[in-house]
Structure formats: C-alpha cells, structure tokens
Structure 1
Amino acid sequence: MKVIRDRKKSFDLDAFLQKPQFAHLATVTQNGAPRESPVWFYWDGKAIWVIGNPASDSFLARVTDEPRCAIGFVEMEKRTGKVWHAGFRGHAMVEPFDRAVARQILKRYLGDNEEEWDPRFQNLDSANRLLRFVPETVVVRDQSFESSFS
C-alpha cells in the first residue's frame, strides 16, 4: 500500500484506524452511478473488513460487479479545529462469513460482552458475508484549522 502524506501535517494512520468511527464505502452501480455506504469496519493492518448481508446490503453486489472502490474516514472536533482525513483507494471482494472477523468488527462498536449487544448483532450467521477491502493507496492528511470555539 502506498501512503501519501502531507510532510508538514499528518497523523498516525494505524492509531487513527483503531478508533470505532464510521467508514464511508464508495462504490458504483452497474450503470456507473456512484453510491456511498456508511459502515462499521475492522482494520487488520493489511485490509479493511466490513460485515454485510446480501438481503439488505447492496454494496456487496456492487463490489462483486466492480471491485474498484474507495473508503474514506474523517475525524472532526469543532471545538479544537481538528480535522483528520484518510482516503483509501483499492479493490474489494466478498468473502464467506467468518465469526471471528465479524466479532472483531462488532466489539469495536458494541463492547466485549456479546450478551449486552443489541439482539440483531448477537447471532450473525452464514447468511452474512464479509467484504475485504485491500488498499492500493491511502492519502493521509491533517486538515486541522484554528478554531474560534476554544
């Protein structure tokens, strides 16, 4: 993966990806129309993993038809003026469901105790799939500004 950084303003990408934030998956439809899907994710150091259900998540079919896609992240704090952006470009593939990988995703957002999770996340099964996004490039930029709110 090629990492493109602003030499003057950057941040630790791996630490940034450990936070439970939303990823924005950008894909295209068969007729070339762009689509964006906010998703939960898990970064394993090589790929970004996302849970999807073919019955309700159309992004799985879109990446099967056209695997080239992008994933973006933005962290902003209005009070401090912090704006960090990481934009990934690469390709994705749909993989069979793996409960261990799914658990890595879900515990980031819901905590370690599955008994306390919303019931719809407690019993995911092989009806679900995993999307594995492999980045080719990532742009890492600290676009922070001086805030008037501090």
Structure 2
Amino acid sequence: MEIVEDTLDTELEQFLARPLFCHLGTASEEGPRVSPLWFLWEEGAIWIIATLSNKTFPDRIEEDPRTAVSIVDFDPETGRVEHVGLRGHATVEPFEGDRGERLLSQYLGDDDSEWDEQFQDLGDVAEKYAFIRFVPETVVERDQSYSGSLS
C-alpha cells in the first residue's frame, strides 16, 4: 500500500479503527455509484457486509473490481475534518459470522443481545450475506480542518 499523501496527525490504523461510514465507489454502465457503509479494517483490508438479495454493489464489483473508498471524520463544532481516500481492488468473499460480529460490534456495542433485531444471528443466515474485501493500493490521508465557528 503506497501512501501518496499524509497530513493527518492520527495514525492510519487508529483512524480506520473508528466506527465511521465509508463510501464505496464502484463503476457501472450508467456511471459511477457510491454506497455509504459500515466497515471493519482487518488484515490490511476493509471488510464490508453485503446483503446479497437487494444490493447491487457486489455484482458491480464482480464485473469491475477497481474500487475506491472514502472515509471522513467530521466535527462541525470544532472544524475537525479528517479524510482518508483509498484506491484499490475489491472482491466478493464468503460471509464469516465471527468477522461479521466484530464489524457490527464496532457500531452496535459488544452485547449482541442489545442489537437491533435485524443484526442478530447473522451466523444462521450466512447464505444471505457476503463480504466485500477491499485491498487498498494507494492512500491519501488529509487533515482538512478549519477553525470551527459553531462551538
């Protein structure tokens, strides 16, 4: 993974461990598409849960694996804007319940009995899900903060 630019004070691993939304960019015949998604940074890759029945991005990735991911951590009160942009390739991988639980616990907490019903018992319905595994080739890490005026 080549770091093209880095102006962040935060280490990339720490930034990617935050429970933020990523925006997955894929190509389609109608033009580029972007999907806001939860993710897990693990083993040098971004892992995203894909519902196979009603999501089109897994099909787009299988057709053209070149993808981009953008992640922004923004606080309008302080003016903190941290951005990480990644370009690389993605694959559709079999769903793994343990990895799925690690991903969801970042956003929903450690006690899965407290999770919304739609996120419980993913291991029992693994045939309905897959993972998108995105491996970055280039990374841009930018601090685009400004003096906040809302505090």
TM category (shorter chain) comes to over 0.9
Partner SS state of residue 146, structure 1: coil
Q: Deviations for 1:33-66, whole angstroms, at most 9, x for unmatched residues?
A: 1100001100014000000011111111110000
Aligned residue identity for 2:135 = V
State the TM-score, normalized to the length of structure 2.
Answer: 0.92
C-alpha spacing 1:6/1:108, structure 2 compared with 1 (3 Å):
closer
What's the counterpart of residue 74 of structure 1? 72
What's the counterpart of residue 4 of structure 2? 4
Displaced runs of 4+ in structure 1, greater than 4 A?
Answer: none
How many percent identity over aligned positions?
44
What's the counterpart of residue 127 of structure 1? 128
What's the counterpart of residue 116 of structure 1? 114
Cα distance between partner residues in 2 of 1:102 and 1:70: 21
C-alpha spacing 1:43/1:139, structure 2 compared with 1 (3 Å):
same
Aligned residue identity for 2:107 = Y
What's the counterpart of residue 28 of structure 1? 27
State the TM-score, normalized to the length of structure 1.
Answer: 0.93
Aligned residue identity for 2:3 = V
What's the counterpart of residue 145 of structure 1? 146
Q: Is the 8 A contact 1:14 1:45 kept in 2?
A: no
Q: Is the 8 A contact 1:72 1:86 kept in 2?
A: yes
Q: Deviations for 1:82-122, whole angstroms, at most 9, x for unmatched residues?
A: 11000000000000111111111111011111111111111
Partner SS state of residue 62, structure 1: helix
Alpha-carbon deviation of 1:131?
A: 0.5
The one of 76, 81, 84 aligned to 1:83? 81
Query: Where does structure 2 lack aligned partners over 5 or more consecutive residues?
Result: none
Q: How many aligned residue pairs are there?
A: 148
Aligned residue identity for 1:27 = T
The one of 91, 94, 105 aligned to 1:93? 91
Cα distance between partner residues in 1 of 2:134 and 2:108: 22
Query: Where does structure 1 lack aligned partners over 5 or more consecutive residues?
Result: none
Moved more, 114-123 or 33-42: 114-123
